[in-house]
C-alpha cells in the first residue's frame, strides 16, 4: 500500500473514533479569528468578520482561503455610548435586499452592560460601512439577558434577531423592516436556557427543509492558557430544532432547549479544542457549512491563537452531522 493511502486510512479511522471529521483546510490569515461571520459576495469574494480590531475584515477567493486582512469595519469604533465601544465583539453579517447589515456587540467581559449595534454597506468593502448605532437591544443588571452575540434570520417575512450570553442564555426579538431597530412594541423572549450552567451563547437560527435549527455554543469560551476548565467544560457546539423560528426548540431526544436540552454537533476532538463561536452558511460551492473558531492543541491555547475553520454538514438524518 502506498504511503498516502496509509495516511488516508489512518486519518479516516481517527475521524471515526472521534466521531467528527477534522476541520477543512484554511490558508492565509486563519488565526486570531474569534466569533467569525462569513458570507460570499456575488462576485465570488468571501468576506470574514471577527471580534477585535474594531471588527476585523478578511477576504478570500474561496472559503479555504487564502485569507487576507483588509482593515476594520468601524475604524473609529461604535457611536454607542457604552464601555467597550472601541473593542467590538461578535459580528454577524447578512444580505438584506441589496444592502449588507452587520450586527455587533458593545460590552466588556463578564458584565451585563451591553448593547447590540448595526452598520450597513452596499459592498462590504473596508471604508464603505456606515454605523447606525444601537438597534435598541440593550441590557443592564436585572434584565434576563445579555445583549451580545446577535444573529439575524428572516422567517415568513419577519426579521428576527437572536442573541444572548449567560444570565438566562438565548433570547430573540423581532426587528422592523428594514431591520435596523426593534419592532414597535416588541420585547425579547427566551429560546434556550440551561439552568444548571447558564453557559449558553452565540446562537444562530438556520432554516433547512421544514425545520429551523438553533445552533449555539456552550461552556467556557476563553482564557484556556490561564484557566482551562475540567474536561468537557470547554466550548462546544449544540443544536435544537423546531418547525417555528420563534420557539419550541427541542433536541434529538425531544428535550426542550429552554430546559437544558441540546444535541452536540461538534466538540473537542484530536487537536481541536473548544470549537464554538459558530455560524452556519449555505455556501453556493460546498452546500451547508458550519464555521467556527477553536484552538489547536499542537500550537497553543491563548485567545489570540484561535483559528478559523469549517466543515460541511449533512441534514440527511434530520439533524446536522459534521
Q: Which residues are catalytic?
A: 35, 201
List all residues 6 or more positions away from 198 whose beta carbon is below 8 Å from its beta carbon. Answer: 166, 167, 168, 169
Cα(170)–Cα(258) distance, rounded to whole angstroms? 9
Neighbours of 257 (CB within 10 A): 29
Nearest 10 degrees: Cα torsion 69, 75, 78, 82: 100
Beta-bridged to residue 162, according to DSSP, are 151, 172
| Contact between residue 60 and residue 70 where contact means Cβ atoms under 8 Å apart | no
Q: Which of 297, 253, 307, 322 is CA-nearest to residue 277?
A: 307
| Phi, psi (rounded to 5 degrees) for 122 | -95, -10
Amino acid at each position: 500500500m502506498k504511503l498516502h493511502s496509509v495516511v488516508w486510512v489512518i486519518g479516516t479511522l481517527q475521524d471515526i473514533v472521534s466521531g467528527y471529521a477534522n476541520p477543512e483546510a484554511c490558508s492565509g490569515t486563519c488565526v486570531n479569528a474569534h466569533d467569525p461571520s462569513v458570507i460570499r459576495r456575488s462576485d465570488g469574494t468571501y468576506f470574514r468578520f471577527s471580534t477585535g480590531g474594531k471588527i476585523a475584515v478578511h477576504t478570500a477567493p474561496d472559503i479555504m482561503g487564502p485569507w487576507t486582512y483588509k482593515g476594520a469595519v468601524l475604524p473609529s469604533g461604535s457611536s454607542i455610548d457604552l464601555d467597550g465601544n472601541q473593542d467590538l465583539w461578535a459580528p454577524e453579517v447578512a444580505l438584506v435586499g441589496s444592502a449588507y447589515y452587520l450586527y455587533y456587540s458593545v460590552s466588556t467581559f463578564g458584565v451585563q452592560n451591553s448593547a447590540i449595534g448595526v452598520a450597513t454597506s452596499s459592498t462590504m468593502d473596508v471604508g464603505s460601512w456606515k454605523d447606525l448605532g444601537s438597534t435598541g437591544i440593550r441590557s443592564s443588571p436585572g434584565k434576563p439577558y445579555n445583549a451580545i452575540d446577535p444573529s439575524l434570520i428572516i422567517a415568513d417575512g419577519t426579521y428576527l434577531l437572536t442573541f444572548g450570553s449567560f444570565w438566562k442564555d438565548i433570547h430573540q426579538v423581532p426587528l422592523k423592516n428594514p431591520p435596523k431597530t426593534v419592532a414597535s412594541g416588541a420585547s425579547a423572549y427566551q429560546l434556550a436556557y440551561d439552568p444548571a450552567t447558564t453557559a449558553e451563547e452565540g446562537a444562530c437560527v438556520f432554516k433547512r427543509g421544514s425545520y429551523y435549527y438553533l445552533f449555539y455554543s456552550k461552556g467556557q469560551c476563553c482564557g484556556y492558557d490561564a484557566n482551562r476548565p475540567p474536561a468537557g467544560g470547554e466550548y462546544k457546539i449544540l443544536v435544537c430544532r423546531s418547525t417555528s423560528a420563534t420557539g419550541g426548540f427541542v433536541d434529538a431526544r425531544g428535550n426542550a432547549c429552554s430546559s437544558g436540552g441540546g444535541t452536540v454537533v461538534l466538540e473537542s476532538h484530536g487537536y481541536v479544542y473548544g470549537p464554538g463561536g459558530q455560524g452556519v452558511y449555505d455556501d453556493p460551492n460546498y452546500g451547508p457549512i458550519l464555521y467556527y473558531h477553536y484552538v489547536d492543541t499542537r500550537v497553543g491555547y491563548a485567545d489570540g491563537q484561535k483559528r478559523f475553520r469549517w466543515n460541511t454538514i449533512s441534514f440527511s438524518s434530520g439533524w446536522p452531522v459534521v
